[in-house]
Amino acid sequence: MLCPTDTNGNNCNPAKAPHIVSNSWGTGQGMTYFQPMLDAWNAARIIPVFSAGNSGSKGCSSVVSPGDSAKAFSVGATDTSDALGSFSSIGPAVNGLIKPDFIAPGVSIRSAWNGNNADYVSLSGTSMAAPHLAGTIALALSARPGFCFDTMKEILSGSTDRSLPRAAQTCGTMSDTVFPNNEYGYGRINAQNVVNAALAY
């Protein structure tokens, strides 16, 4: 990621490093194994986005690593009414951080499939939600290049929609009507608001 090569594994070129990496995977909780990777990405201004996980049925503190790190965005999934998907993992993280950071559409999303070159299916999961945040960040960086993780978090957290249905349960010490919280994070992403905030920053 930090220094992409050609197809033969040669000619490393850090100028071709991505600005964002969208990750639809996770494992365990509170795992520090991934922290050096996240630190390196952040130092290179590569913004890490991770799905929160699909263990919401287990209740509070079900968000998975590496998205439970302070240096990664964790994304929960909502349906068309902005309600949190029953499967969407919630916080707090085992390290005490409020997670997920944001929510995005992740229920019944029309998605490409590997059956053939023209195959589409309807999928649900936080793996459907994380790319929405990554795409929103890409729009912001296209409008105003150069933001690092911390600045992008500031812009995103001030640009969310927060008129949301009450969560099925609340976790930690704060209500789901106070933001950030352990169900909706800072709220549902709003791409137009984010781009406008990036341009005005």
Q: Which of 128, 54, 127 is nearest to 90 (CA)?
A: 54
Average pLDDT rounded to a whole number, residues 35-46: 96
Q: What is the 3-state secondary structure (H, E, C) of the chain?
A: CCCCCCCCCCCCCHHHCCCEEEECCCCCCCCHHHHHHHHHHHHCCCEEEEECCCCHHHCCCCCCCCCCCCCCEEEEEECCCCCECCCCCCCCCCCCCCCCCEEEECCCEEEECCCCCCCEEEECCHHHHHHHHHHHHHHHHHHCCCCCHHHHHHHHHCCCECCCCCCCCCCCCCCCCCCCECCCECCECCHHHHHHHHHHC
Residue count (the chain): 201
Q: pLDDT band at residue 173, thresholds of 50, 70 and 90?
A: confident
- Residue with the two structure tokens 């197809």: 7
Rounded CA separation 91/63 (Å): 6
pLDDT of residue 176: 83
Digit-coded pLDDT (tens) for 11-26: 999 899 999 999 999 9
The CATH code that applies to domain 14-200 is 3.40.50.200
Average pLDDT, the chain: 94
What is the domain partition of the chain in residue ranges? Answer: 14-200
Digit-coded pLDDT (tens) for 93-150: 999 999 999 999 999 999 988 888 889 999 999 999 999 999 999 999 999 999 999 9
Digit-coded pLDDT (tens) for 142-172: 999 999 999 999 999 999 999 998 887 789 8
- Number of C-beta neighbours around residue 139 at 10 A: 15
Model confidence, pTM: 0.94
CB 109 within 8 A of CB 124: yes
Q: pLDDT band at residue 190, thresholds of 50, 70 and 90?
A: very high
Average pLDDT rounded to a whole number, residues 187-196: 98
Q: Which of 141, 148, 140 is nearest to 193 (CA)?
A: 140
Rounded CA separation 86/55 (Å): 9
